Every structure is written in structure tokens, then in C-alpha cells.
Amino acid sequence: MKKKKETRLISCKCGACEEMPVHEQRHHSQHFEWIRNLESEAIYKCYCSELTKSRVVENGEKYSVRVIFGTDQVKKFIEGKSFTESEVDLNFKEYGFRTRKELDAFILGVDETVGWLECFYEIQNIKDLE
């Protein structure tokens, strides 16, 4: 059985990005200021002053989508306003996928929520972490 390799990914909408081994302590980030731990991840502050949430990327993931849930938060994002720590924790979620087909199916589901639940998403390609 192949050992599952995981990496912690921290990225910001300004383009700053950092990968670190999952076993590394979260406050050892070089480009982001650690704010506090969450269940399995953490909240960080980018040097551009934006707050972001890290996520564990599993071996083989090639696509990522970050979703912001909530009408007020989407409006705030579009207007370029900053988010509080609790808003990032509650309203930001990032998902990873191994194939474009999986990603497209997920996006189709997210698109169906519009009107019932406002959200915004941005898709990113992840380099192969093997």
C-alpha cells in the first residue's frame, strides 16, 4: 500500500502561497503569520494583511476550489474588503480534487445553490505533490 503524502497549503488571494509538510508545526510558516489553530488546520495572516485558512492537500490532488459562502461575505469579497478571523473560519472552505471531472461535478452542485445560498468560488491548479 502506497503511503499517503500530505502537504499543508496556505494561499492568499494576493497570490502568496506556501507549502509545508503536515508534520511541521503550523507556526513555522515563512510567509504567513500564524493566528490560531482550527480543528485540523489554522488561520494565517498574509503579509498583505488578508486572513486565510490553510488546508491539507493529499497526494494526487491537481485541482482546488476555494468557496466563500454567504451573501454578506460574497459582497464583501467583491468590494475588496477584509474579513475578520471568525468570517474566514466560518465562511471560507477549500476543496481538492484529483481530476477535472470531479471538480466540474462539484462546481455544478455549487452553481445549483445560487439563489438559495450565495457563494463565490475560484478554481486553482495545484502542482503535482508526488
> Is it the case that residue 114 has pLDDT exceeding 50?
yes
In terms of C-beta density within 10 A (0-12 exposed, 13-18 middle, 19 or more buried), how is residue 94 classed? buried
What share of the chain has pLDDT > 70, as a percent?
A: 89
> Is it the case that residue 122 has pLDDT exceeding 80?
no
Residue 125 has a pLDDT of: 67
Residue 86's SS3 state is helix
> Is it the case that residue 72 has pLDDT exceeding 80?
yes
> Is it the case that residue 22 has pLDDT exceeding 50?
yes
The average confidence (pLDDT) of the chain is: 82
Where helices occur in 60-99 by DSSP H, the ranges are: 71-78, 85-91
> Is it the case that residue 111 has pLDDT exceeding 50?
yes
